[in-house]
Amino acid sequence: MGGLRSVPGDRVGAVWVVLVAATLLSFWLGTDHGLGSAEARGVLILVVAFVKIRFVGRYFMELRTAPTPLRVLFEGWCLAVCLALIAFYLLG
């Protein structure tokens, strides 16, 4: 696939590898391995999920090169929802 490397910021293949690894990490954490308490694992899994979402937005949806208002909305959504879900999870 010649010509892919010439587009700046074009590292979608690497991003994909990172996303796959993050998925497997979450799976490992979620099936009761890793750190001590279930709460810590839960929070970590949620955080990982939103990191993955940022990658999908920035590289796959191509928001890295999008106008600032849109990027602000997207990142804002990620941050707000991540925090809200962690809050609901921990308060339960």
Partner 1 sequence: MATISDGDTQTAAPRPHRHLPGEEGTWVLILGDMTVFAVFFATYLYYRGEQPELFAESAQSLEPGFGVINTLLLLTSSLCVVIGIRAVRRRRTRLPPALFAGALACGLGFSAVKFVEYRELLSAGITPATNSFFMYYFVLTGLHFFHLVLGMGVLVYLIRVSRLPELGARRLAFMEGGACFWHMVDLLWIVLFPLLYLVR
**Of the two residues 36 and 68, which places its CB atom closer to partner 1 in the complex?**
68
Q: Does residue 36 belong to the site contacting partner 1 (CB under 8 A)?
A: no
How far apart are CB 47 and partner 1 at their closest, in Å?
A: 10
- Structural Rg of the chain based on CA atoms: 16
| Angstrom distance (rounded) from CA 51 to CA 79 | 10
How far apart are CB 15 and partner 1 at their closest, in Å?
A: 8
Residue with tokens 């993955």: 52
Q: Does residue 73 belong to the site contacting partner 1 (CB under 8 A)?
A: yes
How far apart are CB 52 and partner 1 at their closest, in Å?
A: 5
Q: Does residue 70 belong to the site contacting partner 1 (CB under 8 A)?
A: yes
CA torsion angle 35 40 45 49 (round to 10)? -140
| Angstrom distance (rounded) from CA 6 to CA 46 | 35
How far apart are CB 14 and partner 1 at their closest, in Å?
A: 11
Q: Does residue 35 belong to the site contacting partner 1 (CB under 8 A)?
A: no
Phi, psi of 48 (to 5 degrees): -55, -40
